[in-house]
A and B are shown apart, each in its own frame.
Chain A
């Protein structure tokens, strides 16, 4: 087994060496791009060889997505040149990029909610029917079915994609990008909303593509993924190229240092202080249809309670029910021992419960509004002296939030739409912090967030817990759940399937509970 791995690694290394001698598939040279108030990219060089997986990493707002959007013809560069297989090319639209053989998975989900999976996958390149201009539907659906099957997905290709979970939608996007017969596939954070199992499937597909000579640019904030699958890594920081190295020659710490420009301390600082104070939130036999079934637990003041489970286990639904986004069908909720009636988010907010939702773009933010407006949205009532908004207060609060969470934005007036993904997430968290909540529920709080910011968010959670806030953190990243929480609940098919002390639990414990292995037929642990 071990020998095998070594041989594999060696062959990979030599294959990789030989690839380096080839002419590059793609060269981007001297790329610069600025947006109003932001120099997003400055003189960036990027080279991709045939049959390699290049990691592109950097903090939130470093310019990764912008660089790749330039390659894909979504933005045009202010300066710089692109060479494709030795020829200078001009890429003015995604269409041009596709014609060259470049396909891209965008960071934001790029599916049309009302169209079905098959149509989404083949949109823009529908197979032609007998008459020009018509679509060969049968062929389209057959191909789409095959594309999904290659990713081990058993989804109905005729179901509108809005009925699928985010993870499923993400995999449909992957299928869409892979179905284009591309020479280069850009994947902008494809794994941020996937669980381990789906990531594994994706990686094995990526490996087989690499063997066929297809190149991949892979963007991720999970550096262990970069280690696992990439050949070289290019690091950006604040729109500037820090360097490109073979992954085998740098450590993860090296990469982090290049990204952040400084040492980042221990990722997960274990807190010694156990939460002993009284119970702040108690949930008794809470149910919502068949999504949340008979869930009971208590959250103490200053405690960080992790909630693990597979996608679809009912974790988000549990959070939404507590928050009143979807009324419970049974059970009760007690705050500080008092039963509360929460049927609308407003009531939850008034009782001091904050909720950072999983899908920040759709549920957490007003994308078209300014950073300031988003930050103060939850406390607007407090900032309106009789009727008019007190802008100086708004500005002061926003300034403080920007500082406290280190939100990278050119100004308070910047529209949130234009911030990088990680900074958008910080804005959502900032909004709830202004409320001074008693209970804060965070659903996948570090999805799509860089290491530096992640550490900051953990630190923030600790600070809040220190101040006595009860925190519920839903997360699919087991190391995160184990590293950050005091206590962990695991959900399986809407029910609580286990409770663990974070200091003693292992990833395997959580996984077994999450898959229901302890109850069902025996499954081989990895």
Chain B
């Protein structure tokens, strides 16, 4: 037995690079934008970035979980829209108190996620197919429920979660959606690093059969993971509706792509079992900063999409290259 091979992996240059590559990328991007635009590095703009991307980060966390377990959740954008619409509808049309509306909406998101999970676990559908169908169904339900028109008038108690600020000692004023996102990130971090369930997510994503042999409740782990993703999508939808003052039926279109891009940028493997929360958050921020910076530099929107695509390819290539370095 050669101990050298067992110790060296922690300290190789490749490993260090790999852990910080995307972070360095983010910092470089920040430096570039602040040199090109005076407004970029202002407190106002940074708060803006955080506020506008809080819902993306939340959805990204859910996506990261489903990707870690070896799946994917394409329905998050539609579920977010449905979540926004249903919560708004419950308050405006049914006159429910906000707390009840929020809880019911979260439960609905969880239920939709469980359905995704059940299609994968019991229906043996590939996650891509199951959640792609759900993406269509949830969008359709949203359109049905809203008759294709925005629902507004949820009241101040609801909309304040979109943009109000809470003054936090030392840091200053922090928008409420950012606080919600931070809470989600923290919980996910604890879940993945501290709990048995978190370890089981990695195990199932790493090798399903082996996990089964080790006595891991594979089906339950998968079901719950999809459930959480659905619930987080519904939460994100409510924050989005709150920020926009109304639940729009076309909200969250393409959100799943942002979430997948963020996760992948953050080093989450599309094949499961590899990745972590901090990485995914950095990936989400990278996408947010890129969008914001390009807006400040007045890049036209179709060029923005192109640049985003290129950045994704470059970042993932660098990531894979450093991963190879880590090998030896």
Contacts and interface: CB of A to CB of B under 8 A. Distances in A.
A116 B249 CA distance: 45
Given A160-B9, A312-B2, A123 B216 contact: yes
Interface string A145-160: 0000000011110011
Given A106-B213, A135-B196, A114 B6 contact: no
Contacts of A165: 5
A134 B196 contact: yes
Contact of A129 (B3, B194, B203, B328): B194
Could you say which of A98, A125, A134 has the most chain B C-beta atoms within 10 Å of its C-beta?
A134
Q: How large is the interface on A (under 10, 10 to 19, 20 to 34, 35 or more residues)?
A: 35 or more
B202 A115 contact: yes
A125 B215 CA distance: 8
Contact of A114 (B7, B212, B217, B274): B274
B195 interface: yes
B210 to A, nearest CB: 5
B79 to A, nearest CB: 26
A123 B9 contact: no
Contacts of A168: 1
B214 interface: yes
Interface residues of B, number: 30
B40 to A, nearest CB: 37
Nearest to B204: A112
Contacts of A153: 1
A326 to B, nearest CB: 10
A170 to B, nearest CB: 12
A98 B213 CA distance: 10
A74 interface: yes
Contacts of A134: 194-196
Contact of A113 (B196, B199, B206, B211): B206
A110 B9 CA distance: 22
A112 B194 contact: no
A110 B194 contact: no
Interface in B35-81: none
A490 interface: no
A98 B216 CA distance: 12
Given A93-B215, A94-B215, A153-B1, A114 B196 contact: no
A391 interface: no
A75 B156 CA distance: 59
Contacts of B215: 93-95, 98, 124-125
A13 interface: no
B197 interface: yes
B207 interface: yes
A156 B11 CA distance: 14
Contacts of B213: 72, 74, 94, 104, 106, 110
B1 A126 contact: no
Contacts, number: 90
B177 interface: no
A111 interface: yes
B219 to A, nearest CB: 11
Contacts of B203: 112, 115, 119, 123
Contacts of A125: 215
A16 interface: no
B273 interface: yes
B207 A112 contact: yes
Given A113-B207, A114-B273, A135-B196, A155 B214 contact: no
Interface in B1-36: 1-3, 5-7, 9-10
Contacts of B212: 93-94
A297 interface: no
A119 B212 CA distance: 15
Interface string B206-243: 11011111111100000000000000000000000000
A124 B207 contact: no
A366 interface: no
A203 interface: no
B6 A135 contact: no
A209 B193 CA distance: 34
A123 B273 contact: no
Given A95-B215, A123-B203, A134-B196, A110 B210 contact: yes
A110 B214 contact: yes
Interface string A108-140: 001111110001000111101100011101000
Contacts of B328: 289
A114 B206 contact: yes
Contacts of A160: 9
Interface in A349-382: none
B260 to A, nearest CB: 20
Interface in A151-178: 153-156, 159-160, 163-165, 168
A155 B1 contact: yes
A73 B257 CA distance: 41
Q: Which are the 8 A-B pairs with shortest beta-carbon distances?
A: A124-B215, A112-B206, A124-B214, A95-B215, A123-B214, A110-B210, A156-B6, A112-B207
Given A111-B210, A164-B6, A289-B328, 20 more contacts: A93-B215, A94-B213, A95-B217, A110-B209, A110-B210, A112-B203, A112-B210, A113-B206, A114-B274, A123-B203, A123-B216, A125-B215, A126-B199, A128-B196, A134-B194, A134-B195, A135-B196, A153-B1, A155-B3, A163-B5
Interface of A: 72, 74, 93-95, 98, 104, 106, 110-115, 119, 123-126, 128-129, 133-135, 137, 153-156, 159-160, 163-165, 168, 289, 312
27 contacts: A94-B212, A95-B215, A98-B215, A106-B213, A110-B210, A110-B214, A111-B210, A112-B211, A113-B207, A114-B202, A115-B199, A115-B206, A123-B199, A124-B216, A125-B215, A133-B197, A134-B194, A134-B195, A134-B196, A155-B1, A155-B6, A159-B9, A159-B10, A163-B6, A163-B9, A289-B328, A312-B2
Interface of B: 1-3, 5-7, 9-10, 194-197, 199-200, 202-203, 206-207, 209-217, 273-274, 328
